Amino acid sequence: MTGLDVLTSAGFSALKGKRIAVVCNQASVDRDYKHILDLLEQNHSQAGFTIAAVFGPQHGLFGTTQDNMIEWEGEGAEKLRFPVYSLYGEHREPTDAMLEGVDLILVDLPDVGSRYYTFIWTMSLTMKAAERLGVPMLVLDRPNPIGSKVAGTLLDPAYASFVGLHPLPLRHGLTIGEISRHVNQNFYPKAIVEIMKIEGWDRDSYADQNAYAWVMPSPNMPTVETAVVYPGGCLIEGTNLSEGRGTTKPFETLGAPWLDGPRLADALNQSGLKGVYFRPIQFEPTFNKYAGQICNGVFVHVTDRATFQPVFAYVAIMQECVRQTGLHDSSGSQLDRFKAAGPETDLAGFAWKQPPYEYEYEKLPIDILFGQEWPRHAIENLENIQVLNNRMENEALTFHSLALSCKIY
């Protein structure tokens, strides 16, 4: 049972006598697909609590807006009896006025196991407000849908952004409740935070191995497989490759009009990467990068989750693109020190996406996604990819050891 299921099973007793603010989105449902706001509305009189305000994260309370700096304000407020506030608009953190008269902040947000996913940072900034105002916070925990493995670089605070406010590896292996404990202990120690724990969960399992069904937590996270590749797949947002937004399989689909899909697939399939097969494809995004253009690329088929390393796989993709096309600047011109290996081409080639990205206007998006700049340099210089991966894994394992005190399950 999720934290929400436990709350409902106990008759909402933890909320008795409280004026509550709820932080949630469309995926905040119980095991019977009932939404938290419907459950609270149906039971508030009998259980003796009042809903004072509702807050929604990036993509909106009902998951209607797209990626990267597409803001929303007061979505759906006309359908509800209480104020609705955006935490991905003018404000990222609840203001004093928004929380006036609130006795308890109830957080029920899904997470997908990756540092970039902004809902954990909405939770963190809500905790910051809770500490400032002395309002207790109750986090309804949910399983990490991709299990307990850790991978990828650890965030350097100099690269903090809304896709990483505090040090976590790219694949963090924690639940949102455990992250809230980590944030509480290390960043907002005066905040009063309780966690309603999950019951009957195996932390090494994936979401489709559990009794609860997958509900899309955001518009471009349609399946569990999307979440499985996302710790690496989101890095493609920091490049001029399409990450498959505007298709039905984002992050598993990637490419560009100038890319040689079969050549890329052959090289990757011969590279020794485990648990994955790269199939050459063509696709036409309906929006986002290269909208309306035929793109050539690869589809990432995960054949064995136990051995698949998502960050390693997508770093290999980016490095192979540099090897095959060279590295280009934002105008499409090839940089002299990064010449392509193999046939010359007069088409554009691989390049890093330029700012802004998630409200960072100076640093390269790829650097804030990695949370450091050294991986970019290693990719550019075609450094030994196994050495690169070992360095990332050592960073992730260092965090894993430090985070033991935060683990609940």
The pLDDT assigned to 334 comes to: 61
Higher-confidence position of 73 and 283: 283
Give CA–CA dist 323/142, Å, rounded. 41
| Band of pLDDT at residue 324, cut at 50, 70 and 90 | very high
Higher-confidence position of 404 and 165: 165
Give CA–CA dist 328/258, Å, rounded. 12
User: Looking at the predicted structure, is the pLDDT value of residue 76 above 90?
Assistant: no
> Class of 224-372 per CATH?
alpha beta
Tell me: cis bond preceding 356? Omega within 30 of 0 counts. yes
Give CA–CA dist 59/1, Å, rounded. 26
What is the model's pTM? 0.94
The pLDDT assigned to 344 comes to: 39
| Band of pLDDT at residue 343, cut at 50, 70 and 90 | very low
Residue type, 228: V
- Neighbouring residues of 232: CB distance < 8 A, sequence distance ≥ 6: 152, 170, 309, 310, 311, 312, 313, 314, 315
Cα dihedral 181, 183, 188, 193 sign? negative
**Position of tokens 């081409």?**
345
| Band of pLDDT at residue 336, cut at 50, 70 and 90 | low
Question: Average pLDDT in the 40-57 region?
Answer: 97
CA angle 153, 172, 353 (to 5 degrees): 45
Residue 272 burial (C-beta neighbours within 10 Å; 0-12, 13-18, 19+): exposed
User: Looking at the predicted structure, is the pLDDT value of residue 68 above 90?
Assistant: no
CATH superfamily of 3-218: Uncharacterised protein PF07075, DUF1343 (3.40.50.12170)
The pLDDT assigned to 341 comes to: 43
**Most confident of the following: 63-72, 128-137, 326-335:** 128-137
Sequence ranges of the domains in the chain:
3-218, 224-372
- pLDDT one-digit tens code per residue, 275-307: 999 999 999 999 999 999 999 999 999 999 999
